[in-house]
Amino acid sequence: MSLQPEYVQQLHQLLQQSNVPDTAAVRAATDALQSKYLKDPNCIPALFEIMSTSPDLAVRQLASVELRKRLAKSGGKQWTKQAVQVREGIKSRLLELVVAEQSALVRNAIARVIAEIAKRELPAGTWQQLLPFLFQAASSPTASHRQVSIFVFFIVLETFVDGEESLEKYLPQIMSVFSKSLQDPESLEVRVTTVRALGKVAENLDVDATADLALVQSAIPLMVQVLDQTLKEADGEGVRHCLDVFESLCMLESPIISNHVADLIQFFLANGANKELEDDHRIMCYNSLIWLSQYKKSKIQSLNLARPMLEHLMPVVVEEDSEDPDEDSPSRLALRVIDGLATELPPSHVFPPLMEQMQKYMNNQDPHHRKAAMMAFAVAVEGCSEYIRPHMNELWPFVEGGLRDNELVVRKAACITVGCLCECLDTECAERHATLLPLIMDLINNNDTQKNACTALDALLEVMGDSIAQYLPAIMERLSSLLDTAPVAVKATVTGAIGSAAHASKEQFLPYFAHTMQRMQPHLSLTEEGDEQDLRGVTLDTIGTFAEAVGKENFRPYFSNMMNLAYEGVSLDSPRLRECSFIFFSVMCRVFGEEFSQFLPVVVPKLLESFKQSEHLPVPGASGDGVMSGQGVGTNDNGDLVLAGGSGGADGEGGEEDFIDLDEVFENLQNVNTAVGVEKAVAADALGEIFMHTKAGFTPFLESSVEELINLLSHYYQGIRKSAVTALIIFINTLNEMSDPKEWQPGHNSSIPLPEPVAKLAEVVIPSIIEAWQDEDDQMTQIEICQQLAECLNKNGPQILKGEAERTCALVADILDQKSACQIDTEAREEDAQGVEDISEYESVLISSSTDLVGAMANVYAHDFVEPLRQLLPKITKYYSPSRSSSDRATAVGSMGEIITGMKAAITPFTNDILSVLSRGLQDEDTGIRSNAAFASGVLIEHSQSDLTPHFQALLGAIRPMFELSKSDKEDDQRASDNACGCLSRMIVKSQASVPLDQAIPVLISALPLKKDAAEWSPVLVCFMGLVQANNEIALQQIDTILAIMKHALQLEGDDAIGSILRGQVVTFISAINSSAPEKIAAAGLQPFLV
């Protein structure tokens, strides 16, 4: 290679200068490298020469790294510009150089250079020496040579993934090498690198390549042995590398680890519990268990592994934790595994065995065992709440015993459990206030439990509602004193509890408002990081709650100053304070409505600015939006990641500052600031809230906000994606509301178009959401998409989904078939084509939300929804089967009512299929399901054009017991009685002759007035009016009672008030009665309603 020695020497000096501890010198060297040398094709052989000959290890390392970057840039153009003899010389010497290099760090860097060249040369068949060299080096008696071979294989396997070369041709020989290197007798590094290389092989295998799959599957036990060796030798890097591979294998569609799941779980459980290992390594094992729980849940479920997993995890939960709640420990990770099991598996698999463990541990004399019982219960509540709900009366003694326990550690854990219960089982907790509140107040009086007890009190007050009135004076007296005396960290929890008290008591909080504001305002001047900033943030949240409780006029004197303080919080370098300020802005716009518009020019830019932050360390060229191929980052014609809109360069090459190095990207993305991610999600929520309440004042910011939110739909953090969906749908709903729209008409070709601005917004937003939905792997985000689209359709009509109805139906079908992106389970068997029947509670909510969307489409498309429903109805009705959970059965039956109500007469072709489900639903053991079935039966009778009178007798027998529930004080019972009244009324309206009125009318009257379902007033009142107008003898005998019922209905207010059309019909009816029997109307007290 003929290179000018001066050129090589100068480049060498600049590389040396880049390594000195002098910022100015490094900057000068970097500038010179970028501007003069690294753009020159001659830098390729020059860097190689330096990498080969420099005596300075740091320079050789840097030359290797820079050489790889130059080779990677612009599709390898600088490499292809080299003369053939230069390229051949480099390739030949590289193989000599890599085995001669003594530094492992430099050897690995050279291996990456080899891989980068292989990416260009192997697909072209122009590096015939490489693979034979690797196979020979793998058999070398020198461990470093074997390590080089396996490491290069590991890196070069990327070539097979991205290039055109087929792996299949070389796989048997490669696997033969790996089978030996997995058991390398001398080098653990060789064994670990082999595990990593096998991971790359697995990633590139086709699901149908059974023979190749079998080769990799057979290596799994040896791979586990290597992981075991890294753990025993405390090789942290090796442990991490091996576990990364196993976690990746979990996510593959090919069943690489299917036959080893039970063994892997046992291995991770044993090592997670092994106190002789370093805590970090135990934590890593539990993290891998979480991955297995998520991606191999069907296998765990089919093998009934939840029980033995819980039995192994509970002893680890007993271990003591550090005082820092943010510090990971084996016991905290064991709890996360339990949480994962509760979330991913059906609750019937998790909670019964967990309950056994809880009882056993709660009876243990060691307080840490009792703490473990409380904490396990706490983390399981969210995933098992509906399963737990009917059993809470049996579980309350367990919780209350924890609150009364003699040991501090148990009482603290019990406070956490109360908080989790309040979040997921609010009604049950509110009903228990008389017992829980005194226990918690006692704990607040103890300094050792004060902080935990205040957190529990905060959660309980949040759900208590009107029940707080009797306790409010005592609560405020105690909490107000703590605002002055408690440590800063406790003050934050006290402040949150006061906020919940205000939320529950509403206007009753007014007597405490002024002096509490006076006590809290100094907290808004705190700026020190840590507890002080936490207190400032919680105080701002709490004052926002005050505003909603006492109303805008009472809060007005504080409004302007509080806005200034909130804005000041945005300016501080704290994601948590910015998040609290954004929430405060949302609350203020709810309280003050369009009056808040005066602040929009200051507030909205700050919200949009939040989206441009980075959650990770800086990546060259990246905008920090978290989407490497999205906003701010793009790809050039060669497929390189570059800064979107970069300056470019000659010969189609981007400027040096535009190129993004993937190694730097991946390294920097490991350091993610989740607080910034949460802040962005809150900012997205705030945009939706602010537009909803300020309306016209927000329109100057609408276009830029939509653009930013659409970019966030592909953000890596699911919370941001979910919030972006919500805000975008709010934008559509609000803009349509502002546009004074005409009432929409059902059908694909509705003659009522959307207002033009709304149509333009929907044309941009809806396809973007549907596109994001197709790949959405987070269940909560998919749930939000379904719920938001359903609401948007019901509010705005069929034109919202213009052009996207077919894709929407297909995505709903995927959810119902349990095949959507967030339901993919690589262990689901082909014979389970109908889906696993026993599913997690989260998946049940997803199924339910998808049927809500089906109901909305039925509502807006009506007669045009017949063909889509032919495909979707069987997928819904399968969820009504004896082996399904009550929530799934309720979803199936409840969706029938929504679909029938929406489609009206167009439901007729499906009458028999629906009736089959409803007839079983009416006999269900669950009161709520029977209630849903009664409602759906009634609307089916009302709307179907099929003659259903032959079924009336059986239907009357099925709903007869429900009328007796009207006297119950349970909400479900009362709603079932109301729905039975609606069903019977619709039967009478449909065919009086087919109902034994002498029995039916007294039964109907006995269950009135309605208590929980005001919508059923329509069929009830229409039924009575029809009977009286038909001079039915039995109805006329009951006219006084009927008129009294009508008076009750006419007096209803708020959400229970009857609609204007129905009210008009009733008023017309009683006016007609008045003309012939005024004494009846006078006796009933109906004269004020006459027209």
How much is the average pLDDT of 81-108? 90
Band of residue 3 on the pLDDT scale cut at 50, 70, 90 = low
Q: Is the model's pLDDT at 1 over the cut of 80?
A: no
Band of residue 863 on the pLDDT scale cut at 50, 70, 90 = very high
How much is the average pLDDT of 596-614? 95
Tell me the range of 634-643, 752-761, 817-826 where mean pLDDT is highest. Answer: 752-761
Q: What is the length of the chain?
A: 1091
pLDDT value of position 637? 47
pLDDT value of position 630? 35
Q: For 448-468, how does the pLDDT look when each residue is reduced to its tens digit (9 = 90+)? A: 999 999 999 999 999 999 999
Residue 33 lies in a domain: yes
pLDDT value of position 621? 43
Please, are residues 773 and 815 in contact by the beta-carbon 8 Å criterion?
Answer: no
Q: For 492-535, how does the pLDDT look when each residue is reduced to its tens digit (9 = 90+)? A: 999 999 999 999 999 999 999 999 999 999 999 999 988 999 99
Residue 63 lies in a domain: yes
Q: For 766-783, how does the pLDDT look when each residue is reduced to its tens digit (9 = 90+)? A: 999 999 999 999 999 999
Q: What SS3 class is residue 659?
A: strand
Out of 671, 687, 702, a domain closes at: 671
Residue 52 lies in a domain: yes
Residue 1 lies in a domain: yes
Q: Count the domains in the chain.
A: 2
d(C-alpha 649, C-alpha 646), whole Å: 9
Out of 94, 128, 162, a domain closes at: 128
Report cis status (omega within 30 of 0) of the bond before 767. no
How much is the average pLDDT of 541-546? 97
Residue scoring higher pLDDT (973 or 624): 973
Please, are residues 569 and 540 in contact by the beta-carbon 8 Å criterion?
Answer: yes
How much is the average pLDDT of 36-54? 89
Q: For 424-457, how does the pLDDT look when each residue is reduced to its tens digit (9 = 90+)? A: 999 999 999 999 999 999 999 999 999 999 999 9
pLDDT value of position 169? 73
Q: Is the model's pLDDT at 786 over the cut of 90?
A: yes
What is the H or E stretch that residue 518 is in?
Answer: helix 510-520
Stretch among 15-29, 226-240, 307-321 having the lowest mean pLDDT: 15-29
Residue 545 lies in a domain: no
How much is the average pLDDT of 302-312? 96
Residue 985 lies in a domain: no
pLDDT value of position 751? 77
Query: Cα torsion for 215, 218, 220, 222, to the nearest 10°?
Result: -110
The residue among 875, 873, 878 whose CA lies nearest residue 837 is 878
d(C-alpha 824, C-alpha 775), whole Å: 11
Band of residue 652 on the pLDDT scale cut at 50, 70, 90 = very low
Residue 1083 lies in a domain: no
Stretch among 103-112, 399-408, 753-762 having the lowest mean pLDDT: 103-112
Please, are residues 979 and 958 in contact by the beta-carbon 8 Å criterion?
Answer: no
Distance from chain centroid for Cα 104? 42
Q: Where do the H-state alpha helices sit in 73-170?
A: 77-80, 84-100, 104-121, 130-137, 143-162
Q: For 882-930, how does the pLDDT look when each residue is reduced to its tens digit (9 = 90+)? A: 889 999 999 999 999 999 999 999 999 999 999 999 999 999 999 999 9
Please, are residues 460 and 437 in contact by the beta-carbon 8 Å criterion?
Answer: yes
Q: Is the model's pLDDT at 403 over the cut of 70?
A: yes
Q: Which long-range contacts (CB under 8 A, 24 or more apart) does 551-554 make?
A: 551/507, 551/591, 552/591, 552/592, 552/595, 554/510, 554/513
Residues 6 or more apart from 482 whose CB is under 8 A from it?
444, 450, 454, 490, 491, 494
* Tokens matching residue 303: 């093998």
Residue recorded with tokens 């934050």: 492
**Residue 21 belongs to domain spanning:** 1-128
Out of 624, 656, 671, a domain closes at: 671
pLDDT value of position 382? 95
Q: Is the model's pLDDT at 667 over the cut of 60?
A: no
The CA–CA distances, whole Å, from 538 to 193, 239, 859 equal 49, 40, 43
d(C-alpha 409, C-alpha 942), whole Å: 60
d(C-alpha 279, C-alpha 273), whole Å: 10
Q: Is the model's pLDDT at 38 over the cut of 90?
A: no
Q: For 1068-1084, how does the pLDDT look when each residue is reduced to its tens digit (9 = 90+)? A: 999 999 999 999 999 99
Q: For 462-500, how does the pLDDT look when each residue is reduced to its tens digit (9 = 90+)? A: 999 999 999 999 999 999 999 988 999 999 999 999 999
Band of residue 757 on the pLDDT scale cut at 50, 70, 90 = very high
Residue 9 lies in a domain: yes
pTM of the predicted model as reported, rounded to 2 decimal places: 0.87
pLDDT value of position 828? 57
How much is the average pLDDT of 1033-1045? 95
d(C-alpha 511, C-alpha 507), whole Å: 9
